[in-house]
Amino acid sequence: MIVNFSDVKFSYSSLKEKPVIDILNWSIPQGTKYFIYGGSGSGKSTLLNLLCGLKHPQNGSIEVLGQKLELMSNRQIDRFRAKNIGYIFQQFNLLNYFNAIENVQLAVTFSTSHRQSINASRITDLLVELGLAKTDIFKPVEELSVGQQQRVGIARALINKPKLLIADEPTSSLDESMRDQFLSTLIAMCDENKTTLVFVSHDKSLKKHFDIVKSLDEFNKQNGMANVY
Amino acid sequence: MFIKLAIKSLLYRKTSVLFTLLAMSMSVFIMVGVEHIRLQAKTSFTNSISGVDLIVGARTSNINLLLYSVFRVGEPTNNVSLSSYQALLDDTNIRWAVPIALGDSHKGFRVMGTTNQYFEYFSFANKQYLSLKKGTEFKELFDVVIGSQVANKLGYVVGDKVVLSHGIGVTSFTHHDHLPFRVSGILSATGTPVDQTVHVSLQGLHAVHLPKAKIKSVLDRKGSSLTMLDDFIPQSITSVFLGLKSRIAVFQIQRKINSNPNEPLSAILPGVALSQLWQTMSIFDNVLRLISLLVFISSLLGLTAMLCSSIKERSHEIKLLRMIGAPAGFIFWFIELEALLIAFLGSLVACSALSFMLLYGQSYLIDHYGVVISANILQSMSLVVSGLFVLLVFSAALAPALIAYKEAKT
Tell me what pLDDT residue A69 has.
92
Query: B83 Cβ partners below 8 Å, 6+ apart?
Result: B262
The minimal CB distance from B323 to the residues A79, A87, A105 is found for A87
pLDDT tens readout for residues B51-66: 899 999 999 999 999 9
Long-range Cβ contact pairs of B340-344 (< 8 A, separation 24 or more): B340/B390, B340/B393, B340/B394, B340/B397, B341/B6, B341/B7, B341/B10, B342/B10, B342/B17, B342/B20, B342/B21, B342/B24, B342/B303, B343/B24, B343/B303, B343/B389, B343/B390, B343/B393
Q: Do B322 and A54 touch (CB under 8 A)?
A: yes
Q: Provide the pLDDT for residue B378.
A: 77
Interface test with A, best of B13, B17, B323 (most A CBs within 10 A): B323
Number of domains in chain A: 1
- Residue B274 half-sphere exposure, CB side, CA atoms within 13 Å? 22
- Residues of chain A contacting B324 with CB distance shorter than 8 Å: 81-82, 87, 106-107, 110, 156
pLDDT at residue number B172: 61
Residues B144-168 have pLDDT tens digits of: 999 988 998 899 999 998 888 877 6
* DSSP string of A99-145, one letter each residue: BHHHHHHHHHHH-GGGTTT--HHHHHHHHHHTT--HHHHTSBGGGS-
Whole-number Å distance between alpha carbons of A118 and B376: 47
The Cα angle at residue B237 between residues B134 and B189, in degrees rounded to 5: 25
B314: nearest CA partner in chain A: A95
Most confident of the following: A101-110, A142-151, B31-40, B344-353? B344-353
In a domain? residue A16: yes
Q: What is the pLDDT of residue A116?
A: 65
Asked whether residue A193 is domain-assigned, the answer is: yes
Average pLDDT of the segment spanning A33-56:
88
Q: Report the pLDDT averaged over residues A56-69.
A: 92
Contact A156 B325 (CB under 8 A): no
pLDDT > 60? residue A229: no
Using a CB-CB cut-off of 8 Å, the residues of chain A touching B9 are 95, 97
**Full residue range of the structural domain in which residue A61 is found:** 3-223
Confidence of residue A160 (pLDDT cuts 50, 70, 90): confident
CATH number for A11 = 3.40.50.300
Per 3-state DSSP, chain A is made up of helix, strand and coil in percentages (nearest 5) of 45, 20, 35
What are B's interface residues with A at a Cβ cutoff of 8 A?
Answer: 1, 4-5, 8-9, 11-12, 316-317, 319-328, 410
Alpha-carbon span A194 to A180, nearest angstrom? 21
ipTM score for this prediction: 0.86
The H-assigned helical ranges of B47-163 are 62-69, 82-90, 117-121, 148-154
Instruction: Please state, in angstroms and rounded to a whole number, the distance separating the CA atoms of residues A141 and A148.
Output: 9
Helix (H) / strand (E) containing B375: none
How many angstroms separate the CA atoms of B268 and B273, rounded? 7
User: How much is the pLDDT for B395?
Assistant: 95
Q: What pLDDT does residue A170 have?
A: 87
The candidate with the shortest Cα–Cα distance to B285, out of B79, B90, B39, B113, is B39
Residue A43 pLDDT class (50, 70, 90 cuts): confident
Predicted confidence at residue A177, as pLDDT, reads: 83
Task: Select from B8, B321, B324, B405 the residue whose CB has the most chain A CBs within 10 Å, as the one to mutate to test that interface.
Answer: B324
Look up residue B120 and give its amino acid: E
Question: Is A145 part of a structural domain of the chain?
Answer: yes
Residues of chain B where predicted confidence (pLDDT) is lower than 50: none
Q: How far is CA A58 from CA A13, A70, A224, B116, B300, in A?
A: 10, 10, 19, 95, 41
The answer to whether position A26 is within a domain reads yes
Q: What is the pLDDT of chain A when averaged over all its residues?
A: 86
Cβ(B25)–Cβ(B169) below 8 Å: no
Q: Is residue A41 part of a domain?
A: yes
CA angle B100, B105, B106 (to 5 degrees): 125
Rounded average pLDDT over A97-119: 81
Please answer whether residues B12 and A96 qualify as being in contact, where contact means their C-beta atoms are separated by less than 8 angstroms: yes
pLDDT given at position B367: 67
Residue A229 lies in a domain: no
Whole-number pLDDT of residue B256: 93
Asked if residue A226 has pLDDT above 50, the reply is: no
Which pLDDT score, from 0 to 100, does residue A14 have? 67
- Closest by Cβ to B324, choosing from A92, A97, A110: A110
| DSSP structural state of residue A163 | S
d(CA A121, CA A177): 30
HEC-encoded secondary structure of B18-80: HHHHHHHHHHHHHHHHHHHHHHHHHHHHHCCCECCCEEEEECCCHHHHHHHHCCCCCCCCCCE
Q: What is the pLDDT of residue B370?
A: 65
Q: For residue B58, what are the CA distances in angstroms to B86, B167, B215?
A: 15, 19, 29
Task: Name the residue of chain A whose CA is nearest to B323's CA.
Answer: A87
Is residue A126 in a domain?
A: yes
DSSP letter at B140 equals B
Inter-chain touch B5–A105, beta carbons under 8 Å: no
**Residue A228 maps to a domain:** no
Q: Measuring CA to CA, which residue among B141, B233, B145, B215 is closest to residue B178? A: B215
- Chain B: residue nearest A51 by CA? B323
